């Protein structure tokens, strides 16, 4: 065999990716891929895929692509979680060897945060924010498509690591010096840094895009204090992204340079300082947890108002508390490493600032409760998630305040108490919020409702499974079980609690199956939404038909009240948006472009080449990036006019034209 073939096999398929389960997945992926290619060829869908999806700049289609990716990633991260729980169910189980266990908890955390929660949030942003503010698209539609493809190819680069070359295994935080070349010579950590850098660029661009969209693109009359709460949280989240991602970019790039080019930022020799990485990482990492939860505070604010048939209680205080959380979130990052030993004064400051965040959060909790107070509550699936969120998030927040007490943190740091705490807030806040938003806006995105009965089954499985999984973990933490432990001996009193926790994880897995069944069933047989306003909603997206036409609004609405659509309905002005045929004009729309997709491909090639230090491939990637930038710089043909006739026909077919 020629030597380079041996080299390739040795590099691409080292022993760590030759476990039987991984080989099985390899076979499954190859078969699945061939099946997909065969299906697309047989049904002649390649052109459709290219024109309608890969080159689209329509925010509504980008939202659908984000949503599909997020659910696929939820599946991947969930499988990782089930594997971890299977390993820990019994003492001294060696279902996975230590190295594979390390890889699985690393990919579980990284995927759930960067490749599940973030794109799911962006799916909701893209799906409804332009509709809520009465805009025809986001501020920069092409940049929006670039954001998606950078995220998508970053996610692909990260996900191929477990079948090609080996996964990262240093935890989702990737602390040096363990990520250094001396301790971690494989390509795994290169995958981690490069995929997060690529996806992080996309995220930063999304932040810029939605900040400008919410600042500059609002319909006439929609002042800041008349924006729907979800738009407020979108704006604040985008600002958080703007300020949080650069430190992460710097920290990741420095770690990568240490590994690839021999610099000495975080090495143990030549004056390097690993704690600097930890500071930079959490300077991003703490705002990141608010990036993950604030949009869902917005979702809950919309959901609770709609299903309680009341305006959101204390809207100005909600705005103030969101802004307070935004500012405070930058002053708390040291609470992730109190045990670094920065001294009592520093730790006391960060302990107090952490507790302070509980105040604006508590204000919001009370506002949601008071919104429900005296309302006519409809127990839909979205509302169930909202109601489950309140106690879950309160308990998760309270355990967070416990961790903010510095002496207690010295005891609880990196134990299962911490694991239970952050799953309590991230599942209770973020995942419940995402699913609530998905059930709430599904009719607007796809034109049909998700089946409520199946949705409630999935909800109860998730909710009950969640508590069975994580309540024992608080106790395990108090009993001294530390995180990232690949197995444990019998006789420590951890066994029973771990069994319960694993059973809970299975129940949550069943919840996921029920969710997917619900989605697929509803896509096939779901109740069509012919009204465009199935929930009797309050904000402008419900004034449009479902699914929304390409141009969103035939005429940009004028806003007078906070819950604009509700006010129109109260005043009997729901037909005010209906146009006379002669009032329909040409609409300027952004034009499809292949550049964002090709840019994503180029970055993928660049990332893959750098992961294995195959510089010629990396250079091909760089040339691709340069070509894409040059092409878009000289491309002035970026929009087209939708003929008035087309708009007239579409509106008439939807029954929205007068006369």
Partner 1 sequence: MSLPLAEKAGQHPLPIEFADEKESIKITGFWMFLVTDVLIFASLFSTYAVFRTSVAMGPTPDQLFRMGPVMLETILLLTSSFTIGLGVYFMRKGQVRALMGWMIVTILLGAGFVGTEIHDFVTFAQMGATWHTSAFLSAFDILVGTHGAHVTFGIFWAITLLFQLRKRGITPQTARKVYTYSLYWHFLDIVWIFIYTFVYLNGKIV
Question: Where does this chain bind partner 1 (CB under 8 A)?
Answer: 139-140, 143, 204, 207-209, 211-212, 215-217, 242-243, 245-247, 249-251, 253-254, 257, 261-265, 267, 269-273, 276, 280, 283, 630, 633-634, 636
Q: How far is the CB of 619 from partner 1 (least distance, A)?
A: 17
Listed in sequence order, the residues at least 6 apart from 333 whose beta carbon sits closer than 8 Å to its beta carbon are 279, 282, 283, 285, 286, 350
Helices assigned H by DSSP within 182-312:
188-216, 229-261, 274-308
* 58 vs 258 by CB, closer to partner 1: 258
- CB of 330: closest distance to partner 1 in angstroms? 11
Helix ranges (DSSP H) in 89-187 = 98-110, 118-132, 141-159
Residue nearer to partner 1 on the CB measure, 250 or 499:
250
> Shortest gap between Cβ of 106 and partner 1 (angstroms)?
24
Q: How far is the CB of 280 from partner 1 (least distance, A)?
A: 6
- Positive or negative torsion for Cα 382, 387, 389, 390: positive
- Secondary structure letter of residue 528 according to DSSP: B
Nearest approach in angstroms of CB 263 to partner 1 is: 4
| Pick 194 or 283: Cβ nearer partner 1 | 283
CA angle 65, 232, 217 (to 5 degrees): 70
Cα distance between residue 644 and residue 136, in whole Å: 15
Closest distance between partner 1 and the C-beta of residue 261, in Å? 8
**Shortest distance, position 623 Cβ to partner 1, whole Å:** 14
Residue (282 or 566) nearer to partner 1, CB: 282
> Nearer Cβ to partner 1, position 102 or 137?
137
Nearer to partner 1, 350 or 494 (CB): 350
Residues 246 and 243: their CA atoms lie apart, in Å, by 7
Closer to partner 1 by CB, 467 or 603: give it.
Answer: 603
Rounded to whole angstroms, the Cα distance separating 239 from 326 reads 8
Using the minimum distance from each CB to partner 1, give the nearer residue, 261 or 525.
261
Quote the tokens at residue 387. 């109601």
> CB of residue 254 vs partner 1: minimum separation in angstroms?
7
Q: Is the peptide bond before 177 cis (omega within 30 degrees of 0)?
A: yes
Long-range contact set of residues 314-320: C-beta below 8 Å, sequence gap at least 24? 314/363, 314/366, 314/367, 314/370, 315/225, 315/229, 315/562, 316/225, 317/363, 317/367, 318/229, 318/232, 318/363, 318/364, 318/367, 319/225, 319/229, 319/232, 320/360
Instruction: Tell me the C-alpha distance between 70 and 54, whole Å.
Output: 17
Rounded Cα distance between 222 and 227, Å, is 6
Closer to partner 1 by CB, 143 or 395: give it. Answer: 143
List the Cα angle 343/175/338 in 5-degree steps: 20
Residues contacting residue 223 through CB under 8 Å, at least 6 positions apart: none
Cβ closest to partner 1, residue 208 vs residue 377: 208
Instruction: Count how many residues are written for the chain.
Output: 659
User: What letter would DSSP give residue 270?
Assistant: T
Q: How far is the CB of 252 from partner 1 (least distance, A)?
A: 11
User: Smallest gap, in angstroms, from Cβ of residue 633 to partner 1?
Assistant: 5
């Amino acid at each position: 065999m020629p030597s380079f073939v041996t080299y390739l096999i040795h590099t691409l398929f080292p022993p760590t990716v030759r476990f039987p389960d991984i080989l099985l997945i390899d076979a499954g992926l190859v078969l699945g891929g061939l099946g997909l290619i065969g299906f697309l060829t047989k049904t002649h869908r390649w052109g459709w895929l290219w024109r309608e999806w890969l080159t689209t700049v329509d925010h509504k289609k980008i939202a659908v692509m984000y949503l599909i990716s997020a659910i696929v990633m939820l599946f991947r991260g969930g499988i990782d979680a089930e594997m971890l729980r299977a390993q820990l169910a019994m003492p001294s189980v060696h279902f996975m060897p230590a190295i594979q266990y390390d890889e699985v908890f690393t990919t579980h955390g990284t995927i759930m945060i960067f490749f599940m929660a973030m794109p799911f949030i962006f799916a909701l942003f893209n799906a409804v924010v332009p509709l809520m503010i009465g805009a025809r698209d986001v501020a920069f539609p092409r940049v929006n498509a670039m954001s998606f493809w950078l995220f998508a190819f970053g996610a692909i680069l990260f996900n191929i690591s477990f079948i090609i070359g080996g996964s990262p295994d240093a935890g989702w935080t990737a602390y040096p010096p363990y990520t250094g070349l001396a301790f971690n010579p494989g390509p795994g950590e290169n995958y981690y840094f490069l995929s997060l850098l690529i996806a992080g660029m996309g995220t930063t661009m999304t932040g810029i895009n939605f900040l400008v969209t919410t600042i500059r693109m609002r319909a006439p009359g929609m002042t800041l204090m008349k924006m729907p709460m979800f738009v407020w949280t979108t704006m604040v989240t985008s600002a958080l992204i703007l300020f949080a991602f650069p430190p992460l970019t710097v920290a990741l790039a420095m770690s990568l340079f240490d590994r690839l080019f021999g610099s000495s930022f975080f090495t143990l020799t030549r004056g390097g300082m690993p704690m600097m990485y930890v500071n930079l990482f959490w300077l991003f990492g703490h705002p990141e947890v608010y990036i993950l939860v604030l949009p869902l505070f917005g979702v809950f604010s919309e959901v609770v108002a709609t299903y309680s048939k009341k305006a959101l209680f204390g809207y100005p205080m909600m705005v103030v508390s969101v802004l307070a959380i935004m500012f405070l979130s930058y002053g708390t990052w040291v609470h992730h490493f109190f045990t670094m030993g920065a001294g009592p004064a520093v730790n006391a400051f960060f302990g107090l600032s952490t507790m302070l965040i509980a105040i604006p959060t508590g204000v919001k909790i009370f506002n949601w409760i008071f919104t429900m107070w005296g309302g006519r509550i409809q127990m839909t699936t979205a509302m169930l998630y909202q109601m489950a969120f309140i106690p879950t998030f309160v308990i998760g927040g309270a355990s967070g305040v416990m961790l903010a007490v510095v002496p207690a943190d010295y005891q609880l740091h990196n134990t299962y108490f911490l694991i239970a705490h952050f799953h309590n807030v991230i599942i209770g806040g973020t995942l419940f919020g995402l699913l609530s938003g998905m059930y709430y806006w599904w009719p607007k995105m796809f034109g049909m409702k998700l089946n409520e009965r199946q949705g409630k089954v999935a909800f109860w499985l998730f909710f009950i499974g969640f508590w069975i999984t994580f309540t024992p973990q608080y106790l395990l933490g108090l009993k001294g079980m530390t995180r990232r432990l690949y197995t444990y001996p019998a006789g420590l009193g951890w066994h029973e609690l771990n069994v319960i926790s694993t059973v809970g994880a299975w129940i949550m897995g069943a919840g996921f199956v029920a969710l997917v069944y619900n989605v697929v069933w509803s896509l096939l047989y779901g109740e069509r939404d012919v009204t465009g306003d199935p929930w009797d909603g309050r904000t402008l997206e419900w004034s449009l038909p479902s699914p929304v036409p390409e141009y969103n609004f035939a005429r940009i609405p004028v806003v007078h009240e906070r819950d604009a659509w509700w006010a129109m309905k109260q005043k009997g002005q729901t037909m005010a948006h209906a146009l006379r045929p002669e009032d329909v004009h040409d609409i300027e729309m952004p034009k499809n472009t292949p550049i964002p997709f090709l840019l994503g491909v180029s970055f993928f090639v660049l990332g893959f080449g750098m992961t294995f230090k195959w510089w010629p491939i990396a250079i091909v990637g760089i040339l691709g990036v340069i070509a894409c930038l040059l092409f878009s710089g000289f491309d002035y043909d970026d929009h087209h006019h939708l003929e008035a006739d087309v708009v007239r026909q579409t509106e008439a077919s939807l029954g929205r034209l007068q006369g």
